[in-house]
Amino acid sequence: MENVSKALLIAATLLLAMLLIGIFVRVFSAGSSVSESYDRKQQSEQLELYNSKFELYDVHENTIMDLITVANLAYSTNEECEYDSGNSVSITIEAGSQEFSIPSTDIDLKRNQIHAQTNVDGEENISIYKLATLTLDELKIKTGDTYKLSTTQYLSSQNVTLYKYLFECTEIKYDHPNGKVSSMSFEMYEKDYSQVKDATTGQPIYGTVTW
C-alpha cells in the first residue's frame, strides 16, 4: 500500500512538473510572439516615417525650393549610409533639355551641390542654390530666356504667390529590398494660370498673369 502511495505521489509530481513546463513554454512563446510583433510594427513605422519624407514631394506641383529640399535630403541620406546600394537614393530633375541629379553613387559631390548633365559655368557639379538664382539660359535650359526657375508673381488682391515654373514628380521607386524609396524623378513645366477656373462661374481665378 505504501509503495502504491509513493508511486501515485511520484506520478502526480511528474504530471505537475510537465504541466508547469507546458505553461512556461506557452508563456515564453506568447512573449516572443508579442516581441516579434512589436519589432515588426516598429520597423514598419520607421519605414513609413523614412519614406514619408520623400513622398511629401510625390505631387504634381513642386517649386524649385521644394526640389532643393528633397535633393539635399537625398544627399544627406546617401552620405549617412555611405552610398550603400541598399539604402541610397537618386534624384533626377528634368528641365527642358537640361538634367540635374543627385546620384545614388558617390561622384564626389559636396554638400549643397547637384550634378548638371550639361556643364554650368564650366562645371559638372554646381551649387544647388544656383537652380534658384541663375536664369534658365545660364543653367543651359533655354537659350535667351531671362527668367529663373524661382520666378514668382504675388497677387495682392488674392494674397497668393504664383510660380512660373513648377515640377511634377513623374516617378517614385521603391526598388530596395527593405522597401525604402530608391529614386525620384521630376519634370519641369510652365503652368498656365489662365486655365485655373472657378468651378461655379467657369471664369479664370487669376485672370491674366504677366511675368
Inter-residue contact 103 to 87 (CB < 8 Å): no
Would you call 92 helix, strand, or coil by DSSP?
Answer: strand
Q: What is the pLDDT of residue 180?
A: 97
Which segments of the chain have a pLDDT < 70?
Answer: 1-4, 6-8, 24-25, 27-36, 38
Q: What is the pLDDT of residue 1?
A: 59
Q: What is the pLDDT of residue 34?
A: 60
Q: What is the pLDDT of residue 166?
A: 98
Question: Identity (one letter) of the amino acid at 139?
Answer: L
Strands of 90-95's sheet in order across: 123-127, 113-120, 98-102, 90-95, 183-190, 165-173
The per-residue b/e assignment along 94-127, b for 16 or more CB within 10 angstroms, e otherwise, is bbeebebbbbbeeeebeeebbbbeeebeeeeebb
For β-strands 183-190 and 113-120, DSSP reports them as unpaired
Q: What is the pLDDT of residue 17?
A: 77
Rounded to 10 degrees, what is the CA torsion of 200, 203, 204, 207?
Answer: -140
18 class by beta-carbon count within 10 Å (0-12 exposed, 13-18 middle, 19+ buried): exposed
CA distance 83 to 103: 9
